[in-house]
Structure 1
Amino acid sequence: MMEKELVSILLATYNPKIEYLRKQLESINKQDYPNIELIICDDFSKEEIYHSIIQLVEETVTRVPYKIIRNKKNLGSNKTFELLTKIGSGDFYAYCDQDDIWEEHKISSLVRKIKSEEALICYSDLSVINENDIIISKSFKRFSKRIQHVFGEKKYGYFLRRNSISGCAMLIRSDVAKESLPFPEYKYYVHDHWLTLFASCKGKIAYIEEPLVRYRIHSNNQIGAKIMQGIYNKEDYIYNKLYLEREKLAYAQKRLTSFQNEHLQKEILKIQKFIENRIEFFEKLSVKSMWKLIKNINYDPLLVIFEILFRLLPDRFSGAILSFAKR
């Protein structure tokens, strides 16, 4: 018996490259899961591009019911996905970018896994392709060494600081997604990170090791392989990295008040102390402030070593270390 739950595919578009979008839509049209709907929200693309999107959908999406709406002004990706989250009618949501390619069994595999493990979110690994659809990595974990694919229960300590779940590889229960609204400002959390953090406070996260999405890396990716944007020196690092981490944690603590169990509180306080120690080390360099940071080395060894070197070395050398960290 085939699964009966409806999956809403929520696709946000903004001035897409039409050929990339065509391949994404074709892969949606080929999904072997029988009960899906496609909802597209265009974030106020150029008029001619918007009409090209409509024509492309009409030509390409022949097996899936769909709806197309358009923002009256450009709202950005978080608010566009927030609107899609509000109007989706499925039991599960699959968030969708405009330039990837999904494997035909992506949705069916995620639905089976999320149900069998009674999870709130399920996600998969991704392969990585370039502008010409050539696979440059068979696993996102191998492509980005910083990525750890975390799953299980009570994983919010990890997700308070970083994310390992790409929205395009995610399936989430729609009631959980709706409960997480509104999405934060983009500078705090991208929609997929916020959904992951919120769900991790409520229940289990499941994972499929098989890559179910061909994730496209190209020059116009909104996130893609870009690391520490806007950071070029130590002052930038303090204001655009460390202070922002402090703000993000305060925001999360305020929004997650309904999950204030003892374990979550301990995780928040631990991260809070770690952030403040790092800020003190950069603002007030001393043996004492460095020792406080070194005592945290088991918490995040690579980060602590990077920050000590970056702070202590002269600018001509610290710039090289920063460039290496951005790779």
Structure 2
Amino acid sequence: MTASIVMTTYNGEEHVEEQLQSLLNQSLKANEVLIYDDGSTDNTINIIRKFIASNDLSDSWKLIQNKENKGWKRNFMEGIWKAKGDYIFPCDQDDIWYDNKLEKMIKIMESHQQINLLVSDFEYMYGEQKVRNKPLDEKNPKLEKVELTKHWLRVDFPGCVFCIRRNMAQKSKNYYDAEYAHDDFFWRIGLFEQSLYILHDELIGHRVYKESTFSKEVLQLKTRPKKIEWLDLSINCCKSLMRMLNNDNITGKEKNLIVGTEKALKLRKKFYQTRNPIYGIMLIKYLNNYQFKKQYLGDWFFIYFR
């Protein structure tokens, strides 16, 4: 059994050392820690180099400086593909991993071979304040399988709480598009493989900022052109996953869900592009494909009032 941590950095000098220390403090040590910096212009590189040197970690901890800025999506995916561990843990630059994260997640993966993607609960960190992701329910099972539904585009957990089995990481190369976020894509592969599980144990403190790259991208979705881009990306994701199902000889419910979702997405795209209310009325047939019914009303608002 071997474990790899894949960390990406970009101008993270404020919190990166605290995160590095939390990786070093793991009760079960990673066999390799790969740190991919995407062109930091602050003191991030020097902090990482000093930490590796002062803790004599150069045999297993590697800092790689990208020759060009790849963007966080590509940086993560390429790093994950290069990892050699049986279990791969994506890592943000500014969270805090609790000491037993690796040990607990690997123990579950070793004893449950049907799991290709395991995610854990986490706490949000707003400055020094910690807030639970959701209230703990003692009635819920400690280990929960995530079932495939019509709302499979929804991703409930960030990539920093993922443990990815290496065969899933390698498989993803065949279906990945450069614009997919790693957490979105692995989550959806896990859903359609029936290999996605949640460990209900808070194993990291996940730092949240209003000005993060992810937050900015979410805000950009509040415009009609960005909505169309998101619809195109989601349609492409349908095609990628359909190729995967065909190659794996999976039929039935899984394919039907993708077909239905793709039809709904294409109709929404026509509605956004043409502003023709006929397409909006036709979307009533696909109301169940919306996670929330108010999102359907939101489409009308975006198209006619923004």
| Pairwise TM-score range, normalised by the shorter structure | 0.7 to 0.9
Name the Cα RMSD after superposition.
Answer: 3.2
Q: Which amino acid aligns with 1:123?
A: V
Report the counterpart of residue 164 of structure 1 in structure 2. Answer: 156
Report the counterpart of residue 322 of structure 1 in structure 2. Answer: none
Q: Which amino acid aligns with 1:239?
A: I
Q: Which amino acid aligns with 2:6?
A: L
Alpha carbons 2:144, 2:199 under 8 Å: kept:
no
**Identical pairs, percent:** 21
Q: Which amino acid aligns with 2:5?
A: I
Matched, 1:298 2:293: no
Match of 2:96 among 85, 93, 101: 101
Alpha carbons 1:217, 1:224 under 8 Å: kept:
no
Deviations 1:9-54 (A, max 9, x none): 11111221x2311111111111111454312122232385423321
Report the counterpart of residue 172 of structure 2 in structure 1. Answer: 180
Match of 1:215 among 175, 200, 206: 206
Q: Please state whether the residue corresponding to 2:15 is helix, strand or coil.
A: helix
Matched, 1:67 2:62: yes
Cα 1:265/1:20, change in 2 over 3 Å: same
Per-residue deviation, 1:125: 1.4
Report the counterpart of residue 51 of structure 1 in structure 2. Answer: 46
TM, length-normalised to structure 1: 0.77
Matched, 1:311 2:300: yes
Report the counterpart of residue 229 of structure 2 in structure 1. Answer: 240
Match of 1:26 among 21, 26, 32: 21
Q: Please state whether the residue corresponding to 2:255 is helix, strand or coil.
A: helix
Matched, 1:155 2:148: yes
Deviations 1:39-82 (A, max 9, x none): 21222323854233211333467699312222222222233223
Supply the distance in 2 between the matched residues of 1:71 and 1:305 (Cα, whole angstroms).
42
TM, length-normalised to structure 2: 0.82
Match of 2:121 among 119, 125, 145: 125
Per-residue deviation, 1:237: 5.7
Per-residue deviation, 1:276: 2.8
Per-residue deviation, 1:262: 1.6
Q: How does 1:274-289 map to 2 (within 5 A)?
A: 274-282=264-272, 283=274, 285-286=276-277, 289=279
Per-residue deviation, 1:203: 4.3
Cα 1:228/1:294, change in 2 over 3 Å: farther
Alpha carbons 2:17, 2:47 under 8 Å: kept:
no
Which blocks of at least 5 consecutive residues in structure 2 are unaligned? Answer: 136-142
Q: Please state whether the residue corresponding to 1:296 is helix, strand or coil.
A: helix
Number of aligned residues: 296
Which blocks of at least 5 consecutive residues in structure 1 are unaligned? Answer: 143-149, 320-327
